[in-house]
Every structure is written in C-alpha cells, then in structure tokens.
Amino acid sequence: MKPLEKIVQKLIISGTITEQPGLFYGKAGIAVFFFHYAHQTRNEIAQSYAMELIEEIQKQFTDSASVRYDIGLAGIGVGFEYFLQNGFLVADEEIFEDFDARMFRAALYEPYPDLSLEGGLTGLGRYFIYRLLGKGQKTEKLHKSLTHIASEISRKIKKKTVLEKEQPDVFRFFHDLVSIPEYSETYSKLLQKCREWKCIRQPDVQMIFPYMNNLQRLHVCQNYFNMDLSKEISQEWEKWKESDGTHAEMGLLKGLSSNGLLHLTHLYGNNDSWFNLL
C-alpha cells in the first residue's frame, strides 16, 4: 500500500474517535487533509468523511469551549472559513453565528495569556481576519473585535513590551491585517515598525516558529518574509522523502494530517495555502 493510502486509512479509522476538535491536533486539522485529498482525487468517500468531521466538531461546541487557536474555536473557525474560501464547503452564514458570538466575548472581555498564535491574542486576531476576508457579512462585531485586538497589540508595541518570542506572530498578524482594505492605511506603518525587529529583519529560518517542522517553517518564511528559500525547501523535501513518516498524532501541525498534506503537495503540486494555517 502506498504511503498516502496508508495515511488515509489510518485517519479514517482514528479521526472521528479523536476527542480533540481543534486545528493543530484534532478533527479540524484532519478535515483540512480530507478536503484537500477529496478535491485532488475526486474521492467522494473522503468528501463525505470530511463533512462527518465537521458535524462532529459542531456537536462539541459549547459556550465554555476554549478559544485558543491551536486547540479551540479560533483555529476551528479559521478552518471553517478556509474551507469556504477554497470551495471545499458550501454553507450559509449561520454556521458562524455561535463562533462569532463566543469569539467576540473572548476578544473584548476575557484576559489573554500572551500575544502568541497558539494560545494568545494573535490567534484570536487571525480568526477575525479570516472572517473579514471571507464572503460573508462584515458585521460590526467582527470589526469591533479586530480593532480592539489590533489596538491592544499596538499599545504593547509602542510600550516595547512585546517579547522577542512573540514578535514573529505579531508580525504575521499585522502582515495579514493590512491585506484588509479598511485596515491597510491605519496599520501599514506599524507593520513597517515590526519589520525593524531583528528576528524579522534577519530571520533565522532554523529557529523561528519553533512549533513547526522544517518544511512548514520554510514555506511560511518564504510566504511572509519575501525570501527565496526554494533551494532550502527542495533540500528539505528530499530529507522528508527519506523519512519514515510515522506519526502518533492526527492533526495538522505535526501529525498524520500534516504528513498527508505534504504527500499531496509533493505528488500533485497541490495548493499549499494550508501552510499559512499554521
């Protein structure tokens, strides 16, 4: 059996029994793989399975659910918006009503531990950026939440209290934020200020975004830092092909879903936009 077929088989067996619903380690990340796989292979079973995962995730939604990007509603919501934007999923705006309400409350009224993507404020910010870049209604609550988050991070930048380890995630936040026309003029200068940080001006592609694997890190750096890393990426692909590809985890970050997406990207030149979900 070919490696990609083995991954599909393992994920079908284990995906729906995975309790974690999130993007990095759970069902939402598995769904990213199956939607891409179904799109590439025209496999109706894979499409149906991805939809089954979506239904299971919705059943796990509660008002007390975590809003973290890696394991909670911010990442799941971004995943749903990603499916819509790529034509993998057809749904009306109602699918986001509970998400938007819960994320609005978190953004405006709940404390955040740091500015990280995984569990902090930039992770919440990415949710609202994806929502506003989508085709759905641009509600006042979405703009109010995103403006509050951007203002809070801006305040920390001006006070020089952004930790060095948080700076790459803050830079990515403002890089994405200025792609929204209503925010471009207001935050372009702040994005330029972020570019002056040493870790952004001279990024160490072996050390930045330590939670990612090497291939993920190189692709994200090339996408965000205007760097030509094609040689390094090619070398890393060769190393990846020689690895055994075994994973205990299921999700998008470093699990079977990530490995399956790498296979799709390598075999078919598949849409690599999924790297930017990390």
Instruction: Write down the pLDDT at residue 248.
Output: 65
Q: Please give the mean pLDDT across all residues of the chain.
A: 92
246 pLDDT band, cuts 50/70/90, is low
Asked if residues 201 and 195 have their Cβ atoms less than 8 Å apart, the reply is yes
Mean pLDDT to the nearest integer, 193-203: 95
136 pLDDT band, cuts 50/70/90, is confident
Distance CA 80, CA 214 (A): 26
Instruction: Write down the pLDDT at residue 3.
Output: 83
Instruction: Write down the pLDDT at residue 92.
Output: 78
Distance CA 28, CA 149 (A): 24
Q: Residue 134's closest CA among 99, 163, 186, 107?
A: 99
Mean pLDDT to the nearest integer, 229-256: 84
Instruction: Write down the pLDDT at residue 247.
Output: 63
Q: Is 270's pLDDT higher than 80?
A: no
Asked if residues 133 and 180 have their Cβ atoms less than 8 Å apart, the reply is yes
Q: Is 129's pLDDT higher than 70?
A: yes
| Strongest mean pLDDT among 149-163, 202-216, 234-248, 256-270 | 149-163
Instruction: Write down the pLDDT at residue 245.
Output: 58
The dihedral formed by the CA atoms of 217, 218, 221 and 222, expressed in degrees to the nearest 10: -150
Sequence-ordered list of residues with C-beta below 8 angstroms from that of 54, at least 6 positions apart, any chain? 31, 80, 83, 89
Domain boundaries, the chain: 91-202
> pLDDT over 90 for what percent of the chain?
76
Mean pLDDT to the nearest integer, 264-271: 80
Mean pLDDT to the nearest integer, 49-58: 94
